[in-house]
Amino acid sequence: MPKVKVGDVAPNFSLPSQSGGTISLEDFRGKIVVLYFYPKDFTPGCTVEARTFRDNYETFKQYGAEIIGVSSDTVGSHQAFASECNLPYQVLSDTENKVRNLYGASSTLGLIPGRVTYIIDGNGVVRHVFSSQFNPKKHIDEAIKVLKTISSEVKQRASA
């Protein structure tokens, strides 16, 4: 299965969200997207990850980034999960794992859907890929670090 790598153009996709609509990656063209794949709603690690993204949501917004979570759970599960965790961002339902497979977001031990985060810049180019099944909070730290780098590059170009 081909994996999306740093420097690749992020493949477009459309998936149903917990808010009832369909979300496409191309809807966010021109914005930075933090796209994270996670194993399952309501599990301890995934709940910590979702809430840590939530708790840092304003920081992501300051960098002009949108957060999108994806798992194979149903829209109904996502509605309950997003409500219970008070998530201010979209959580998308990939019940057949088509987008997970498209991105090559690997599994752990071939059994547990992987926890993988992609940072996609405003031009649709993947700038960073981070995978860590057992350290969900590090996904947020990694994403913020990359957003700072992208922001610095933008400022440098603007002043040149």
Task: Let me know if 85 is a catalytic residue.
Answer: no
**Catalytic residue chosen out of the listed positions 10, 46, 68, 85:** 46
21-34 pLDDT, tens digit per residue, is: 999 999 999 999 99
Task: Summarize the confidence of residues 75-98 as an average pLDDT.
Answer: 97
- Mention every residue, 6+ apart, whose C-beta is less than 8 A from residue 44: none
Structure-model confidence comparison of residues 121 and 159, the more confident one: 121
105-139 pLDDT, tens digit per residue, is: 977 766 788 899 999 999 999 999 999 988 999 99
Q: Which two tokens stand for residue 43?
A: 């599990």
- Say how far apart CA 135 and CA 73 lie, in whole Å: 21
Q: Does residue 2 surpass a pLDDT of 70?
A: no
Domains of the chain: 14-159 (3.40.30.10)
Band of residue 158 on the pLDDT scale cut at 50, 70, 90? confident
Q: Write down the pLDDT at residue 109.
A: 66
Give the up-direction half-sphere exposure of residue 90: CA atoms within 13 A in the CB hemisphere. 23
pTM: 0.94
The DSSP element (H or E) to which 57 belongs, if any, is helix 57-62
Q: What is the average pLDDT value for the chain, to the nearest integer? A: 93
Band of residue 159 on the pLDDT scale cut at 50, 70, 90? confident
39-56 pLDDT, tens digit per residue, is: 999 999 999 999 999 999
Q: Does residue 143 surpass a pLDDT of 80?
A: yes
